[in-house]
Amino acid sequence: MINNSPSILRSDMISCALCKNPPCSQACAIMNPGELLRSIWFRNEQTAAGRLPEENPCLTCEGACEKACVRAGEVPIRDLMNRLYYQVLPECETSLPDNEDRLRCDLCGIPLENPFLLSSSVVASTYDMCARAFEAGWAGAAFKTVSTLDIHEASPRFSAIEGDNGGIIGFKNIEQLSDHSVPENMEVFRRLKKNYPTKLILTSIMGQNEAEWAELARLCEENGADAIELNFSCPNMAADGMGSDIGQIPELVERYTAAAKGACHIPVLAKLTPNVDSMCPAAEAAKRGGADGISAVNTIKSIVGVNMHTFVSAPAVHGMSAVGGYSGQAIRPIALRFISELGKDPELKGMHISAMGGVQTWQDALEFILMGGGSVQVTTSVMQYGYRIIDDLKTGLNLYLTEKGCSSVRELVGLGLDFLSSTTNVLERDTVIYPTFDYSRCIGCGRCEISCDDGGHQAIQLNEKRKPVLNGKKCVGCHLCMLVCPQNAISPGSRRVGKVMKTQA
């Protein structure tokens, strides 16, 4: 059943607040609707269906869950549970796996319970935070960047762009590095390694010169780090010549990588900036410097939300703002492009790629794995939804691996690269795939006609019953109509063979 199609239930729970200790679950003595709603939200419906009780309790209950909801009357909980039973469950072909062995992998030879790590940021900045994440099921954490700098953060330091459903799709931060001292962070590493010996401690560092890069790498190894991540990519540094300034100059990447690698005996990964045209020159320089792997991507330099009255962009700090780092779902396509570039580079063959950039669901993570990522890091989604998202990341990917007959997630690394070209000149252009309409789902809104008229080739018209009719002589198979349909009522249909008409760019 698992596929890349949009969630058939998610759009109906737009009002769900994804509560902590959901009142709906507390009100139900038979199942956990809050957990099931969360799985639906994170496109893990098949796992949700597999966790249902054998008998459907929603058929005879009086809706205590909906009455207890913090948005009572807005979330159709019973309807969603019934649709899991009667719409999703009958299509489930595979039982939920009884173990997570398929998720086991490694980072530069270091065993990982699963491919999911917290990325270096505020979500991995204290002992207690990392400990709670490890308890939740994360395989490890890239700790917030350690440096000798005296860090004083601005307030506020976050801003966001919302999607149509009110959720965050793009996130800007002007956050810097760890505001704890080097000795304080070393104590954290020692405690984490003592109490969580099977979890990966990936320590991010940033030096001001070769001596500092070397000293920080040495100290991290001595205090329990399993691997080092070199921060060549933070876009928010107050001083020039640090962070992303380094990542844009391959010579500096090579020099500082060599300094850190020469001072320790554990794997070293270079975390590179996406604020470049190509990441390969810096990645190849890191390899020459001795790096064992690459982490990518960090945030993209951005400006968000210019206030039309004060003229200050967000976040505004006492009447001023600054260019900051952009993350979240909005950057995933850009991040995937960079990861694929690294994955296809023959000079980097054999290097571990720890991929990140807008991961929210297990499908997002899978995309990075297919483009060459051997592990996957997450920050923004954790900031929005919490460490608990690891449950759906793991169960969704584990079920997918089971359905595909894979014994290990390692089997999927890079499988999508052979089907990807950096240019469009390899694409077949002599056939047209027509759209087909599911009239049982169509509500007659006319969005397809509007988009085809004003952004396509005027090939769709609504009939007297407000149902779309295709003009095959005009349709060029662009599939814009499928993308805009709010009901997912349009899908690929028949194929026309023959030279496609030329269109103006």
Contact 458, 474 (CB under 8 A): yes
* Catalytic (active site) residue 234: yes
Strand-pair category, 293-296 with 352-356: parallel
Q: Three-class SS string for 327-350? A: ECHHHHHHHHHHHHHHHHCHHHCC
- And the tokens for 242? 């640090």
| Whole-number Å distance between alpha carbons of 13 and 94 | 25
| Whole-number Å distance between alpha carbons of 8 and 140 | 33
| Whole-number Å distance between alpha carbons of 275 and 14 | 34
- And the tokens for 277? 């045209």
Please give the single-letter amino acid code of residue 345.
D
Residue 27 sits at the vertex; the CA angle it makes with 21 and 28, to the nearest 5 degrees, is 105
CA dihedral sign, ordered 211, 213, 215, 218: negative
Contact 229, 204 (CB under 8 A): yes
| Whole-number Å distance between alpha carbons of 397 and 366 | 7
Residues 234, 475, 481, 485: which is the catalytic one?
234
Of 212, 357, 209, 200, which Cα lies nearest the Cα of 267? Answer: 200
Q: 437, exposed or middle or buried, with CB in 10 Å at 0-12, 13-18, 19+?
A: buried
| Whole-number Å distance between alpha carbons of 87 and 81 | 10
Q: The tokens 């010996």 sit on which residue?
A: 197
Name the residues annotated as catalytic. 234
